Amino acid sequence: MSVFKKSMKEIATFIRNSIKLIDDKEVEGMLKVLIEAYRTTDKRKILVMGAGRSGLIGRAFAMRLMHLGYNAFVLGDTIVPRIGKEDIVIAISGSGRTKLIITAAEAAKAVGATLIALTTYPDSPLGKLADVVVRIPGRTKIAKEEDYFARQILGIHEPLAPLGTLFEDTCMVFLDALIVELMHRLGKREEEIRLRHANIEI
């Protein structure tokens, strides 16, 4: 159990320390886009995307956006509508180099959508494409094999917090906190969110 407890402490400490490293101006940039979108929610759509675990975190964030009243979708779902210049695409990639996400981000930019990138590497291909970048601390070094799917196939792991664990966990906490900030700025109460929560569940 010593490794288990050491790993939990390492992850929790990393997330706590990351609070100091996340740039307030970058967060404000993302909030500005999301708040403006809320005021025109009937027209604007938000598409969230990420590969692997980043995609699962994105899905959780999209769910909370929907609870707040946004038209939120997740890339890969069958109900994703057409995206255009009025819309917002939020891309999550620790390395900022995942090929699937880069391709989708390029498509979003091609139609004039606003692209928000959450990545550890602002100078990555994804970061350079984005209109708004929020640097989320993660691994201090990109693996030799940078593409997510290639790393999975090769079975590349790291001790205590393997692969993108630190980025993914930090990103999840960041996005949950962002939802609370949006609730505060939009004047939303938990009771209102509950009204949009699913009432037919498996």
> Contact 75/81 with Cβ under 8 angstroms?
no
Q: Is the Cα dihedral 119, 123, 124, 129 positive or negative?
A: positive
106 is catalytic: no
Q: Which of the residues 168, 190, 191, 201 is marked catalytic?
A: 168
Instruction: Give the contacts of 90 (CB within 8 A, at least 6 positions apart).
Output: 46, 47, 48, 49, 58, 61, 116, 118
CB 71 within 8 A of CB 45: yes
Nearest to 104 by CA among 73, 134, 129: 129
Number of helical (H) and strand (E) elements in the chain, helices listed first: 8, 5
Amino acid at 130: A
CA nearest to 83, candidates 105, 104, 111: 111
What is the set of active-site residues?
A: 168
